[in-house]
Structure 1
Amino acid sequence: MAIVAATTLAIGADQTPQSQSGEIQLLLAHEFFADGRYQDALDAYQKALAAPAPADPRAARQGVIQSALRVAAFDLARVEADALVKSTPLDPAALSLSADALWASGLFDEAESRYKDALSGVPALARGHHGLARALAARSQLDEAMNEAQLALKLSPRDLEIHHTVGAIYERMHRYEEAAGAFGNYVNLLPNKDNSEKADWSRSEIKFLRSFGQRVPFEMDPTTVGDSWTVDFRLVNDKVVIRAKVNDGSFQDFVVDTGAENTIISKPTAQRLGVTPITYTLSAGVGDVGLRGLQLARMNSLELGTLKLRNVPCLIKDPPLRNLPVKEAESLSPLVLGFSMIIDYRTRKITFGKHLPEEPFDFELPLRLHRLATVRGMIDGKHPANFVVDTGGEVISISTATASALSALGRPSPDRKIALKVFGSSGWDRDAFLLPGVDLAFDAIKYTNFPVVVLNLNTPSALLGFQLGGIVGHRFLSKYRVGIDLEESVLRLKAI
């Protein structure tokens, strides 16, 4: 019935006086949005906003922002959010929606500040508390984040995004049954036609989380919770490689990859060690495959040095990619396992634990962990962006979205693009190129007239829910003793 009604409105819009066309487009946009047809809603909201006599410009602009965020049109959401705040600078709802757009642009600090501004005007603003919950979770202050999220849920129990955030926080707390319940509430509130990647991911995650039953995820000997562990590593083609054991098998190589959200094993390894897939999920990385279906599974045990964890979630790379230049390697990240870490490229040792010892540093950068660990950088002195801290990466790169933003700010386009052959976790990035002459700053760390690799990070950004600005890999990190402290939410660097 909704589709028929929407079609009637669309036909009538072409035959309606201009004074009414904006109102009809706005009604049509609301129908599309409620039905989960977010791209159609975005188009209709934009038409309503551009109508000669818009019925409600504020509502149309809010709809543009909300729809743009749902379809990962992050730049558009940011532009319209700035216009919304300019038109109503003291409106808490506008400030909160603008903060959502800032968050989706990867500007986490600015978003947090604006959420607080919104709450100062209306302390009972659900979306403001939801934003603070995400900000606190990104600082790994999970108890405080959950308090904010539950308050937001109490104020707005049918806001599906709040349920999703509650689920994400519970999952980081390793409270899987509660996480599955929250994700279930999110899915139940979705429009019937919402087949987005986020919706598909949530449905798979519910099945996976509930498969644990009474098992404790990442279970370890409780007497060792305050301990730390140190293991040796090798550098192989600029990759940090350690030895680890799965399901009481023999020790084998794992790449330490802080740019990944999961422990990852290959299909042959899973079959050999009895790791059984539970469900499929969506993954995304660098490469032209874009979204990639992989299998979620649970390892009975994972051993790193003298540490033994039980019931460890993992991804199985099945189906595998074809025509690979190198074999897809097993990988893990202490961050995913819930540990802070120190990696010393001089001594070739990694130390990890719940608590890191205090030690001297030359630079300390704020760190945000919103699915991936990121730090803030400044490009060409005027464009802030988040960079994934990626021990599995090799170079310093920026996204195509960041490169486009630099062009909009006046950076001249190169006379010719220096094409590169880059292979990532989702295949070949055939659009990758080298951009010379870039100025980068990470607080007091400066790179002047520096060449960066430009990668297409649009698909992983869409799946993550925020625009990735770039990646700092081996070329950046290997000059330091690197401390990633989740407790303090900082990246510490000591030159070696």
Structure 2
Amino acid sequence: MQKAISLRPGDADAKIMLAQAFYRRDDFQKAAAALSGVDVSRNKLIREQYPTLNVAMLESFKGQTPYELKGNGTSTRVKFVKTDPLPLVNVRINGGKEVIFFIDTGGSEVTLDTDFAKELGVPEFGAVQGTFSGGQHTEVRLGRIESLALGDWTVKNVPTAMLPLRQLSEGFGVKQIDGIIGTTLFYHFLTTMDYPHGGLVLRRKDAKSLEEFKTQSSGKRVTVPMWMASDHFMVGWGRVETLPPTLLFVDTGLMGAGVKLAESVINEAGIKLEQNKATKGAGGGGTLKIVPYTVHQLSFGDIKEENVPGLYDGPFPWEYMFGFYLAGMVGHDFFKPYAVTFDFQNMQIFLQ
């Protein structure tokens, strides 16, 4: 990227991709510097794919280590409060009392409910338009917290997003949802969502942890290569019915289904939408009409499931966003039989 910028100093997209590379390495000051001369508020690539590249937020971490881990041992395990409709965990923000967050790899940064953020006095650095299910959009505010505690570990200096989330509490069957844990926190660890045993396991992100994980893991393990698109979209090869292999997005926060496909894929595969069973549901951007369907054969890597429940809730906005074709997303019901481990060093997903 630096060579590309030296050849074309005015290339804003190259600067943005360099900034994102620094961002993933937690080098926020270099990320902010890379954005010099870029109209961040109007740039399409930032709006669509890298909305967390906010210069004021990045510069607020000067002299601090983002995602600084405090804690002993090689791992920590956090029991799920509930596994359905999505995994819920207890966390503590800024040393406060336990609150409930849900886990969603369809999300990027740790996200706080907007009212909860106000109660905490979280600083704000601006807002972006977030893209959600059905192609809906809503405002997402950007901030930061001093710490997030999970199990025996505490992660300090954490960027956050802010979004109205408490309105979703009833659908989760709990008194109050105060936030989301997304992919950006996860990629700082060797992370396992252990659905069968109801827990989240965070291991230190190093070769020793990976070796111990492979040694200690029992049973058959399937490895699926993955890539990261945009700032948090984990994608891997899968197959829908008898169509050719295609790329699918790993979205554990897809609730009430195992798959959500672009309308073009639904039509090409001859999948029938069950309009007579349509319901209303809540998404990050508002109310949605949700139409169920069934995928008779769905594969992700070498894992194949039959009669997977799917849902259609409107346009799939990420179908062509990243410069390659994305057919849909694989969600909660598909992954629930497995312990799913995300290895962000070697870019692979283990299912066992």
Q: Name the CA distance, whole Å, in 1 between partners of 2:3 and 2:193.
A: 38
TM-score by length of 2: 0.82
Q: Name the CA distance, whole Å, in 1 between partners of 2:292 and 2:111.
A: 29
Larger proportion of helix = 1
- Counterpart of 1:153, as a letter, is I
The answer to whether residue 211 in structure 2 is matched with residue 365 in structure 1 is no
Q: Name the CA distance, whole Å, in 1 between partners of 2:35 and 2:293.
A: 41
Within the candidate set 210, 214, 221, 2:59 is matched to 210
Residue number in structure 2 paired with 1:386:
247
Residue number in structure 1 paired with 2:284:
425
Residue number in structure 1 paired with 2:196:
346
Which structure 1 residue ranges, 5 or more long, are not aligned? Answer: 1-148
On the 8 A contact 1:184/1:206 being kept in 2, the answer is: no
Q: Aligned in 2, Cα 1:230/1:329: closer, same or farther, shift over 3 Å?
A: same
| Per-residue deviation, residues 328-364 of structure 1 (Å, max 9, x unmatched) | 5411136525122112223222211213322354311
Task: Give 1:451-466 correspondences, 5 Å limit.
Answer: 451-456=309-314, 458-459=316-317
TM-score by length of 1: 0.60
- Counterpart of 2:300, as a letter, is F
Q: Name the CA distance, whole Å, in 2 between partners of 1:230 and 1:202.
A: 31
Which structure 2 residue ranges, 5 or more long, are not aligned? Answer: none
- Counterpart of 1:422, as a letter, is G
Q: Name the CA distance, whole Å, in 1 between partners of 2:19 and 2:35.
A: 5
Q: Aligned in 2, Cα 1:278/1:186: closer, same or farther, shift over 3 Å?
A: closer
**Greater relative CO, 1 or 2 (CA 8 Å, sep 6+):** 2
Deviation of 1:227 after TM superposition, in Å, equals 2.6
Q: Aligned in 2, Cα 1:416/1:252: closer, same or farther, shift over 3 Å?
A: closer
Total equivalences in the alignment: 333
Residue number in structure 1 paired with 2:46:
198
Deviation of 1:298 after TM superposition, in Å, equals 0.7
Deviation of 1:439 after TM superposition, in Å, equals 2.7
Q: Name the CA distance, whole Å, in 2 between partners of 1:229 and 1:482.
A: 16
Q: Secondary structure at the match of 2:23?
A: helix
| Per-residue deviation, residues 46-82 of structure 1 (Å, max 9, x unmatched) | xxxxxxxxxxxxxxxxxxxxxxxxxxxxxxxxxxxxx
Q: Once superposed, what is the RMSD of the aligned Cα atoms?
A: 3.2
Q: Secondary structure at the match of 1:482?
A: strand
Deviation of 1:155 after TM superposition, in Å, equals 4.1
The answer to whether residue 100 in structure 2 is matched with residue 253 in structure 1 is yes
**% identical equivalent positions:** 22
Q: Aligned in 2, Cα 1:454/1:237: closer, same or farther, shift over 3 Å?
A: same
Deviation of 1:176 after TM superposition, in Å, equals 0.8
Q: Name the CA distance, whole Å, in 1 between partners of 2:153 and 2:19.
A: 28
Residue number in structure 1 paired with 2:264:
404
On the 8 A contact 2:127/2:141 being kept in 1, the answer is: yes
Q: Aligned in 2, Cα 1:448/1:205: closer, same or farther, shift over 3 Å?
A: same
Deviation of 1:385 after TM superposition, in Å, equals 3.0
- Counterpart of 2:224, as a letter, is L
Q: Name the CA distance, whole Å, in 2 between partners of 1:230 and 1:456.
A: 37
Q: Secondary structure at the match of 1:381?
A: coil
